[in-house]
Amino acid sequence: MEDQKQRRTEEFRSWLFLTAIMAPVLAVLAVSGYGFVVWMWQTFIGGPPHY
């Protein structure tokens, strides 16, 4: 019984951590990483393209 309660708590905390912290942080890191790569690309390989 105690074990089931613990499992429930751990599942809830894991869910909260994934949705509220890990996913948003990863998304922000991915977007800023992408922006950074484009910036470095523009700096060293070819500046803002014609379009």
Residues engaged in binding another protein (CB under 8 A)? 7-8, 10-15, 18-20, 23-24, 27-28, 31-32, 34-36, 38-39, 42, 47-51
In angstroms, the CA 22 to CA 14 distance is 10
**Cβ contact 48:42 at 8 Å:** yes
CA 24, 30, 36, 38 torsion-angle sign: negative
